[in-house]
Structures are given as structure tokens and as C-alpha cells.
Amino acid sequence: MTLAQSLADFQTRLVACDDLTAAAHKVDGNGDFLFTEPQRQQITVAAFLNMFIAWEGFLEDAITKFMSGTLPTNGNPVVRYVSPPNQESARTFIIGINKYFDYANHDNVKKISRLYFQNGYPIEPHISSIASDLADLRTMRNSSAHISSTTQRALDAFAQRVFSTPQPGISLYRLLTTTLPAPTTSQTVFQDSQQKLLSAATLIASG
């Protein structure tokens, strides 16, 4: 599978997330939601998790493809410092003596990119350009996986930056479905996150 196909697969998975959230918020002829609020919350958070998993999958696929010699969509070879014979070997190379590699830890993604590719290109620069956004995404991912005082404080801090006012105890669902206050966009936090990930993935795939 080429990088163009990997990117297309990522886009398809993002569309599926949009479809899921849209279905959760459908209304009947009277304007009443078809799903209860708890159901809407669960479906939306599940769609967000699917988006994050799709991003991790794209990163792993792109990095291991580049490591094993797959060309980016611009056709220019990536300057690599390793030459595993195939993607599976590249995955083993990345994991090393560990049980797994956490692609949600974007600092580590940048580190291996600098180790395996000249100047970390084309992974590290594009990860670094949205580093703060990726940190916010991980905050939301952690909140979706388990609620604790630590994850709630991190979510509250992110929400305060979005709303410009304290939002103690905010739910992940409310944050995801909040329309950003910036005058240049009418996107929700969820939609904005999707767009940033898709833009970064497109740049990575292009090389």
C-alpha cells in the first residue's frame, strides 16, 4: 500500500467518525433527539477515540513505510538511516526490547524520527508544528479513557484556554461539541482537531 493509500484510508476513517457523531445527534420530525443525552455522549466520545486511534495507526504506517523505503506522494526518496527489509521488520525495529511503542507519545515519535530520518523529515517537523494541539488531543484521550482528579484537572485547564474562563468539571462531550470562539471558524473542538490531524497527515504523506 502506498502513502497515498494510507492517507486515503485515514481520511475514510475520519469521515466514519463524522458520520458517527452526526448519527448520534439526529432528530425526529418534531426536532427531538433520537438518542438520549448519555447515549449521545458515549457515541461522540467513542468517535473521538476512533479518530485518535486512526491517527496513531497512520503515524505507525507512515513511519514504518518510510523506514522500509516507500516513497512519499511527492516521489522524492526520504533520507533514512535504517534499512529494514519490510514494514514488519520496521515495526520490530521501533519496538526494540519494549513490549510496544506508544504512538500517542508524540515526543517519542519525534525522537525516533530524528534517529531514523535525516533531520526527522518528513515526520518530526510536522509533528512539532502542531505539538500543543497534539498535547491537547492526548489530554482529551486520557480523559476519555479514565476519569481521575489528574485527568479532570488537565481537561479543565484545556477548557479554560478554549472558553477563556474557568470551566471546572467540564465533560469531554461538552468540550468536544463546543464551537471554537475564534471569528475565523465555526468548527467545534472535535472538528478542529480532525482538520489539524488531516493537515498534518497530508504533509507527512507528501514528504
Q: How do residues 105-145 score in pLDDT, each as one tens digit?
A: 999 999 999 999 999 999 999 999 999 999 999 999 999 87
Domain ranges of the chain: 3-131+196-206, 132-179
Helix (H, G, I), strand (E, B) or coil at 179: strand
- The closest alpha carbon to 11, from 199, 207, 192, 188, belongs to 199
Residue-level pLDDT at 184: 61
d(CA 6, CA 100): 21
DSSP-based helix, strand, coil % in the chain, nearest 5: 65, 5, 30
Residue-level pLDDT at 162: 87
- CB count within 10 Å of CB 8 equals 13
Helix (H, G, I), strand (E, B) or coil at 80: strand
Residue-level pLDDT at 20: 96
Intervals of the chain under pLDDT 50: none
Residue-level pLDDT at 116: 97
d(CA 204, CA 130): 12
